[in-house]
A and B are shown apart, each in its own frame.
Chain A
């Protein structure tokens, strides 16, 4: 008997210890914040879009005397529920709506991310409370995602303008430093690497989204087991032929009951299996692909649920690996750097440009090389110092060389922040104008005067560069 008790006590002690270890490992390990950053962008864009659409009928939805009378809606709120929309006078409605759109814009851009994520959550919850009669699944998912983004405070740690500006300050400071002996060329890179540092806060946000998403699929699947049409394999028919929802007439599927059965059973199987199989590495991609397929399928059948599907797909990003997501734009680690950029380290403007480029680098896509400090032939035998001094050269791993304005657009195409300008710069006409402009600027660029005396040598960093050296020389 004593042995039974002691073994039972030992078992429970081990169990508690294992649960504690598992809990800590699950929630309190640092994780790559990249997926959280991408979810932040999605929530910002979807929140902006949703509020914009409500704005098309602004007074009907959010006005004090809209479809649902504000006073009665307020009285009907559940305990502790709140919304600022109840206190916005009709005359201020459009202005407040615009400010709220701005909040979502900041969230999507990742500017003042922590504050923006909290404000965005407040806007979402306030709107949900003000228009309870116009809600559907989309609003629930968006509210949940926004809650976790704001609580974690880590959504701006990756793919954000906050991070870009911080790194840009660092790279500009590095570029402004005078040349230091022992270094090969001038520094133009930020101290913080392109890969965002893993953090516990990011992990918490991601774990909460993962758990909640698994729970949502599980509940949706279990609830469907109550419906006879999910057992008879005809439930999908009901969604595909609901006249008020669908955009395409799928009634010809009445001739294909087996197809309807397969779609119905597959949807149900996915929702029931998701909460279990999503936690295993081998089956995770299958679950994510299935979920994406399910939501895209719903969007095709019911266009009004497109945003719901996008929100669910965004939530699924929480299960994706940060390094893998980053490699989609930055390439595999083995393929980096994707571009080696030869710049004139003695030209302040060139250093400033490179500081901008390196700050926007999502990993180690760009390798800046100060051509004044290396033999360019070692980079590529076809390069000459004279040509490189004339305009910027970019060398890809395949040996392709881009020069001048074409080099600029080649760099832009590799950096997500500059995708749009790079695309525009590649358009016919704009490219020709760009080349002309680039060549003119490159030909007249100022260069540092070599430091030859003691007075020059003691200039503080901020005064030593910035293109003013030539003017100072003239004044002397």
Chain B
């Protein structure tokens, strides 16, 4: 069934030596760049980071340098909640990213999950900078431009909105013991959207539409 590609099956022509040498140099560079890119992200050593920095040009040009550290520890899932304040004083419109049910293929919802993750990561970075004592302000590392940009988009696509307040929430993974206890107590299947699994929404910021 599966074999390594076999050589010489039909006597394909070999390459001239100069081409082999050139390709070898490029291959070595590329392999070094891919490996160093994956090793250079935290946690990593000073040496690994320095080597990775040598290949920034490669990672930028060829879209390489990924860490591939998928699901090292299954984390809680970030959720973004947006409250759209209406200019006419009517009740706020609530928007959730990811939406509970996104019409269309599942990949569409997966993209929304990625957006919530990105907002979560940018907020975490912002909190980190705050902790280090940096000042907040437009354009500084202290502000999540992604949150501002997302709020601005919501303002534009929802006419009549005077401002947007964004919150972050975490959707926790249930503890198996908690699941067993609840299932035995109620006799019903455990609800993965049970209130106990959703953390209290944490405020990100208020974004008036006329200021965006």
Chain A residues with CB under 8 Å of chain B are 23-25, 27-32, 35, 49-50, 53-54, 56-57, 60-61, 65-69, 72, 76-82, 124-125, 128-129, 132-138, 140, 143-144, 147, 195, 197-200, 202-204, 206-208, 210-212, 215-216, 219-220, 223-224, 226-230, 234-235, 237-239, 241-247, 249, 251-252, 254-255, 257, 279, 281, 284-285, 288, 303-307, 319-324
Q: Does residue B107 face the partner (Cβ distance < 8 Å to A)?
A: yes
A100–B34 CA distance with the chains assembled, in angstroms: 27
Interface of A is mostly: helix
Digit string of B53-94 for contact with A (CB within 8 Å is 1, else 0)?
A: 000110111111011111111100101000000000000000
B38 touches A219 (CB 8 A): yes
Cβ–Cβ < 8 Å partners of A304 in chain B: 106-107, 109-110, 113
B1 touches A320 (CB 8 A): yes
Cβ–Cβ < 8 Å partners of B158 in chain A: none
A54 touches B34 (CB 8 A): no
Given A30-B10, A215-B35, A244-B79: A134 and B153 interface contact (C-beta under 8 Å): no
Q: Does residue B5 face the partner (Cβ distance < 8 Å to A)?
A: yes
A79–B12 CA distance with the chains assembled, in angstroms: 40
A56–B110 CA distance with the chains assembled, in angstroms: 13
Q: Does residue B165 face the partner (Cβ distance < 8 Å to A)?
A: no
Interface residues in B1-58 by Cβ distance below 8 A to A read 1-15, 20, 23-24, 27, 30-31, 34-35, 38, 43, 56-57
Q: Does residue B204 face the partner (Cβ distance < 8 Å to A)?
A: no
Least CB distance, B13 to chain A, in whole angstroms: 7
B1 touches A32 (CB 8 A): no
Given A198-B8, A223-B69, A281-B3: A239 and B74 interface contact (C-beta under 8 Å): yes
Report the interface size for chain B: residues with CB under 8 A from the other chain. Answer: 80
Cβ–Cβ < 8 Å partners of B131 in chain A: none
Given A197-B12, A242-B173, A251-B174: A321 and B68 interface contact (C-beta under 8 Å): no
Given contacts A242-B173, A323-B9, 15 further A-B contacts (CB under 8 A): A30-B7, A80-B59, A80-B61, A125-B62, A133-B114, A135-B114, A198-B12, A208-B27, A223-B68, A242-B77, A244-B113, A247-B106, A254-B176, A254-B190, A319-B4
B68 touches A198 (CB 8 A): no
Q: How many A-B residue pairs have CB under 8 A?
A: 262
Which residue on B lies nearest to A271, using beta carbons?
A: B70
Question: Which residue in B56, B67, B107 is a CB contact (below 8 Å) of A79?
Answer: B56
Cβ–Cβ < 8 Å partners of A72 in chain B: 145-146, 149
Which residue on B lies nearest to A33, using beta carbons?
A: B5
Cβ–Cβ < 8 Å partners of A211 in chain B: 31
Which residue on A lies nearest to B150, using beta carbons?
A: A67
B153 touches A60 (CB 8 A): yes
B107 touches A307 (CB 8 A): yes
A35 touches B192 (CB 8 A): no
B2 touches A319 (CB 8 A): yes
Given A69-B145, A227-B73, A238-B74: A306 and B12 interface contact (C-beta under 8 Å): no
Cβ–Cβ < 8 Å partners of B183 in chain A: 251-252, 254
A351–B189 CA distance with the chains assembled, in angstroms: 67
Q: Does residue B203 face the partner (Cβ distance < 8 Å to A)?
A: no
A285–B24 CA distance with the chains assembled, in angstroms: 29
Question: Which residue in A53, A79, A237 is a CB contact (below 8 Å) of B60?
Answer: A79
A61–B114 CA distance with the chains assembled, in angstroms: 12
Q: List 17 A-B contacts (CB under 8 A).
A: A53-B107, A57-B111, A78-B60, A80-B59, A134-B111, A136-B110, A195-B10, A198-B8, A200-B14, A202-B5, A220-B70, A244-B79, A254-B177, A321-B1, A321-B2, A321-B5, A324-B3
Least CB distance, A332 to chain B, in whole angstroms: 13
Cβ–Cβ < 8 Å partners of B111 in chain A: 53-54, 57, 61, 134, 136
Given A53-B105, A80-B61, A197-B12: A320 and B38 interface contact (C-beta under 8 Å): no
Least CB distance, B62 to chain A, in whole angstroms: 6
A69 touches B98 (CB 8 A): no
Q: Does residue B156 face the partner (Cβ distance < 8 Å to A)?
A: yes
Cβ–Cβ < 8 Å partners of A81 in chain B: 60-61, 63
B12 touches A200 (CB 8 A): yes
Given A238-B173, A321-B2: A28 and B15 interface contact (C-beta under 8 Å): yes
Given A215-B38, A242-B74, A244-B171: A252 and B1 interface contact (C-beta under 8 Å): no
A324–B4 CA distance with the chains assembled, in angstroms: 11
B98 touches A244 (CB 8 A): yes
Given A30-B10, A30-B12: A219 and B5 interface contact (C-beta under 8 Å): no
Which residue on A lies nearest to B15, using beta carbons?
A: A200
Which residue on B lies nearest to A29, using beta carbons?
A: B7
Question: Which residue in B20, B27, B60, B110 is a CB contact (below 8 Å) of A77?
Answer: B60
Q: Does residue B209 face the partner (Cβ distance < 8 Å to A)?
A: no
A429–B48 CA distance with the chains assembled, in angstroms: 68
B176 touches A237 (CB 8 A): yes
A384–B187 CA distance with the chains assembled, in angstroms: 75
Cβ–Cβ < 8 Å partners of B13 in chain A: 30, 199-200
